[in-house]
Chains A and B, each alone.
Chain A
Amino acid sequence: MTTVLFIVFGGMALVSALLAVTRQNPIASAIWLVGMFFGLAGVYVVLEAYFVAAVQVLVYAGAIMVLFLFVIMLLDLRTKQLDEEGPPKMPIWGVLAAVLFIVASGWALMDAVGTPGFFPDAEERAALELDGSAKAIGADLFGRWLLAFEVTSILLLGGILGAVILTKRRLT
């Protein structure tokens, strides 16, 4: 059952991502990317990472995409101008780089699958227990990873300051 669900949600994510990078209009790209975020949220639910799935929808599909769409609309790109440019040009070396990556990493993955004990087999998977609830993740985040969590706040502060300074018209 989870296999079918994974194929549905994973396929949705992959197709949406492919469509997102091949659209000419950035708004269409952003909307397709929302589809990818929802597909990935489904994958996380299949993997029983419930809290991660919820945060994926809230933070990525909610906050980050709204920020993206806000900036795209603010820039006011004319669709007429986009139509004149025609479909996006995909340089062959770029496609080659992507294909080379998927071949090389797929090879490494096949190697890992062939190694006994790297990935759990069917009965080992049935025995795996992992609580992906908000309670368990909160206990881990504010226990073992408390220092990293606090450092993250400095990163966000830097992000805020950087965004304000970069978009200010003049620094006086």
Chain B
Amino acid sequence: MAASFLHPLLAAGVDMPLEWVVGLGLALFSVGLLGVACRRNILIMLLSVEIMLNAANVVLVAFSRVHSELSGQVFVFFSMTVAAAEVAIGLAIVIAVYRLRQSTDVDDAADLGEVDYGPVPPLKLEGEDQHHHDDHGDADHSNDAGSDGAAPDSAEPIGAAGEA
């Protein structure tokens, strides 16, 4: 069946072989796999994961048609929700890693062991005024006022930040 608002040429319904759609999903998944396996930029790796999730969505919609069953399309919404949560967490990790290593290359973050990288450098925004949002309290204020990152109270490694 076809919706009435569509062009008459589309009104004949889906007359294409559905296995092609599954093939498209497999090809897209392969492209995403290529991105995750080959690229070292953490942002592009996350984008590749998105491609793989979309490939799964394509296959879900294709089989929803094959079996004339709407659940496949409902599952696409759950998949999109998972993708949204994954992107939010993934990008938060990207920001945390970038703050620590000043890099988006995963090889620079290969070392998650007990290494002391010194104080956490703040995320530098372009054109950000040094004093312009100081609503964190006095500890941050003293850091901003010229005593740079080497001050003893700010030279804690990440692990100790929780107790501070």
Describe A's contact surface by its main secondary structure: helix
Contact indicator B62/A47 (Cβ below 8 Å): yes
> What residues of chain B lie closer than 8 Å to A140, measured between beta carbons?
70-71, 74
> What residues of chain B lie closer than 8 Å to A2, measured between beta carbons?
10, 12-16
* Chain B proximity of A124: nearest CB distance (Å): 10
Q: Which of A127-143 contact B (CB under 8 A)?
A: 128-133, 136-137, 140-141
Indicate the size class of the contact surface on chain B.
35 or more
Given the known interface contacts A2-B14, A145-B71, the answer about A13 and B28 at a Cβ–Cβ threshold of 8 Å is yes
* Chain B proximity of A140: nearest CB distance (Å): 5
Which of B14, B51, B96 is in CB contact (< 8 Å) with A128? B14
> What residues of chain A lie closer than 8 Å to B2, measured between beta carbons?
48
Tally of contact residues, A, Cβ under 8 A = 93
Given the known interface contacts A125-B15, A137-B73, the answer about A68 and B91 at a Cβ–Cβ threshold of 8 Å is yes
The 0/1 profile, CB within 8 Å of A marked 1, for residues 62-84 of chain B is 10111011110110111011111
Describe B's contact surface by its main secondary structure: helix
Contact indicator B77/A141 (Cβ below 8 Å): yes
| A14 to chain B: closest residue by CB | B27
* Chain B proximity of A58: nearest CB distance (Å): 10
* Chain B proximity of A34: nearest CB distance (Å): 11
Q: Which residues of B contact A (CB under 8 A)?
A: 1-3, 9-10, 12-24, 26-35, 37-41, 43-44, 46-48, 50-51, 54, 57-58, 61-62, 64-66, 68-71, 73-74, 76-78, 80-89, 91-96, 98, 104, 120, 122-126, 136, 161-162, 164
Beyond the given A18-B31, A33-B51, A36-B28, could you list 11 further A-B residue pairs with CB under 8 A, ordered by the A residue number? A52-B77, A63-B84, A68-B43, A76-B124, A98-B31, A98-B33, A102-B27, A119-B17, A119-B19, A125-B13, A144-B74
